[in-house]
């Protein structure tokens, strides 16, 4: 049986960090359940993308996870499967798809490691920062796979960075908290991935594993403390739900 794109991306993340213990694909929810959970999530959730969302809540010391993808997004990925090649026609869809898997996986891993304050702003920023970093690395793997040399050029990296970081527009959020969250995490992720690009494969793997183990404050300090010669440090303001 052929693996789905979802399961392949989950396995990529798990090989890098740790197995979460469940098939996150079982946590997919439909549009009706998404609407219900959006109401529970509160007013600010109305501004989040309608294309994909990850919902997290706890009850009786259990983590409940729901992952939603719009039918339009799934249709785009089926029509332009990234495993057959990525370009301007499907890069944004792949980014959105991978980030939600990453949110769910790291939330589950953190919960298993004792984290319980999943409603805190630091928890949300931690997941967003980690997702942008990990998605960049996954995109590099996709690009490298389709290069005869298996190497990613500077042009490729600039293209990826444009779609993952430069095209984001956090200032469009009306909610001040969401605006601040995405402005800060995008800035941090952009800086950190520039640093990762200077490392070889072995050092990069060791670095990102240590990075993942940090809380949001630790991640932020790690990025801002990186040597200026390697990176320009910039100040910057499991149960499934179906």
Per-residue pLDDT tens over the stretch 4-37:
999 999 999 999 999 999 999 999 999 999 999 9
Name the pLDDT band for 41 (thresholds 50, 70, 90): confident
In tens, the pLDDT along 44-100 reads 677 788 899 999 999 999 999 999 999 999 999 999 999 999 999 999 999 999 999
Please tell me the predicted confidence (pLDDT) of residue 240. 52
For residue 220, CA distances in Å to 70, 90, 131, 133, 176 come to 32, 31, 14, 13, 20
Annotated domain spans of the chain:
5-240
> b vs e for 180-201, b when ≥16 Cβ sit within 10 Å of the residue's Cβ?
bbbbbbbbbbbbbbbbbbeeee
Q: Whole-prediction pTM value?
A: 0.90
| 3-state SS class at 176 | helix
Please tell me the predicted confidence (pLDDT) of residue 235. 40
Please tell me the predicted confidence (pLDDT) of residue 237. 45
- Most confident of the ranges 57-61, 174-178, 219-223: 219-223
Higher pLDDT, 242 or 201: 201
DSSP result, 84-142: G---TTTHHHHHHHHHHHHHHHHHHHHHHTT---TTSHHHHHHHHHHHHHHHHHHHHHH
Among the listed ranges 65-79, 87-101, 177-191, 228-242, which one has the minimum average pLDDT value? 228-242
Name the pLDDT band for 229 (thresholds 50, 70, 90): very low
Query: Per-residue pLDDT for 238 more than 60?
Result: no
């Amino acid at each position: 049986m052929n693996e789905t794109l979802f399961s392949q991306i989950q396995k990529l993340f798990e090989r890098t960090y740790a197995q979460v213990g469940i098939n996150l694909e079982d946590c997919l929810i439909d549009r009706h359940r998404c609407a219900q959970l959006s109401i529970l999530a509160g007013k600010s959730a109305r501004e989040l993308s309608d294309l994909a969302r990850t919902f997290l809540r706890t009850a009786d010391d259990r983590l409940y996870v729901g992952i939603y993808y719009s039918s339009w997004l799934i249709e785009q990925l089926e029509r332009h499967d990234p495993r057959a090649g990525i370009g301007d026609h499907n890069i944004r869809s792949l980014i959105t798809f991978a980030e939600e898997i990453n949110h769910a996986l790291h939330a589950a891993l953190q919960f298993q490691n004792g984290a319980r304050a999943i409603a805190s702003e630091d928890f949300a920023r931690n997941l967003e920062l980690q997702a942008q970093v990990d998605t960049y690395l996954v995109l590099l793997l996709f690009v490298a796979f389709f290069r005869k040399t298996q190497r990613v050029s500077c042009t490729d990296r600039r293209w990826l960075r444009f779609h993952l970081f430069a095209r984001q527009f956090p200032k469009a959020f009306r909610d001040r908290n969401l605006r601040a969250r995405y402005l800060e995490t995008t800035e941090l992720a952009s800086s950190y991935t520039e640093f990762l690009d200077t490392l070889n494969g072995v050092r990069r793997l060791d670095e990102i594993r240590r990075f993942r183990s940090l809380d949001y404050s630790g991640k932020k300090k790690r990025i801002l403390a990186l040597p200026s010669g390697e990176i320009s440090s910039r100040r910057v303001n499991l149960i499934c739900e179906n």
